Structure 1
């Protein structure tokens, strides 16, 4: 009930100007963190908080699959797939290397890399149980991505009138480089319907690639367990397959749009409750332990991703 209360409050705040860019999930984790560190949380709530941050969070990711129509991505052509694979491969590699340079915890680096490269908080949540990281690392990664993505969306909106590119190309860049779907949608608005459609398609292509990337990360991170125990030692994120199944059902298009809209609303609030649960488990001292390094890795990683912009536009012009 506490995480639901926070999620509902975040949903109301997210309707206000500026805060709509941040979105309900980001606001939920921030409110949860503030609540944890300013108000007393009843120890008896801990079981429910854990349930929200684990079970409900994964249920939300499964239902999030109903946002994807696989045929829309296929119809968009090879350019979307090539761009999204390039973005994810480059960004993941670049940020993991940055993590070594900054001497950042490798698990935290992986979460920041996944959040930047794929789909923000949802990617971080999906990858976290695979790499068996500390829960506070999840919250730190989500917070870094949330703030950076919000700032990035505001910069995009400001720069749009001055960029020497078409509305369609602006949408492509927005979908290929911003973190959260909420950031992408908000930043694409100045370009109108043409920009918004391109942005969402490219972004959803990145979301779809969460499935193979999560499995690849599981294989790489858990090589030792795989060698010793075989496939039994490999953590399989089964809820990711639930996400894929939901996408497949939505692609068949036999569920009415009104029902899909309701399912996505439920997904949003389940994810928000899970985020609130994460926030309620975080102490500010957890952030002070890591210092400025996570922010530095996230910022430089995002700048590196933006450097791909000319290549991304070239791909869309040539394919």
Structure 2
């Protein structure tokens, strides 16, 4: 073997040669709108449940638009599965009393974990404005929830800065306010560069050692949809991703394979950098998340 070949092997060892299944998982779902969507959701939950996730979360629509469906889905997970459900809850469009009442109903239903978020305005393009009698922001929401009951609370973090933040430091300061208010961990918005996550994680560790930061992973099968999501949360879509999915519009299985490869490589890089907990944005589909977890060494 010549020197060039030897170097290629040494510097490009298989990403998944080392993982031994020593990771923790969590999965995010959204509440279904129809019976057919509900069937898809529950098939996905049944597929992913044997991987023994630390928790599964259920999203809350902009302006609280899915409040009842979120509550119903979370309660069903708590009642019918052995999984630990985490309910998303936002500040938008509700008074403190209303939000506190929702939190108490979750506690009474056996739900002990809340994902506390500021939330998005009901209409895209609007500026966020707190309810006059509501919680002003996510930090205030965290403090309010802790006053209602001793919930475990996860909050959002933004490796590429939230669109409403003035700069990276102000965004980090906002995260620290949420941690100081009682949050137990931060889950990041999705991203497509391991370096981006590592810079964010290491900067936070310099300022506040010991804060748990979990990378949020979005396997991409539709670049246009992902671009819309990214515009709402400040994530960057690399140019190479557009090129990678060109010509695959009518080939869904090929898109799945490409998506698994891209997300799998990102997770492999994160694992090599010390990450041992991954949060998957499933979009209510199990196949990609399951395949990537398998690559990481997790077995049912």
Same fold (TM over 0.5): no
Q: Which structure is higher in helix share?
A: 1
Higher relative contact order (CA 8 A, sep 6+): 1
Q: Which structure is higher in strand share?
A: 2
Structure whose alpha-carbon radius of gyration is higher = 2
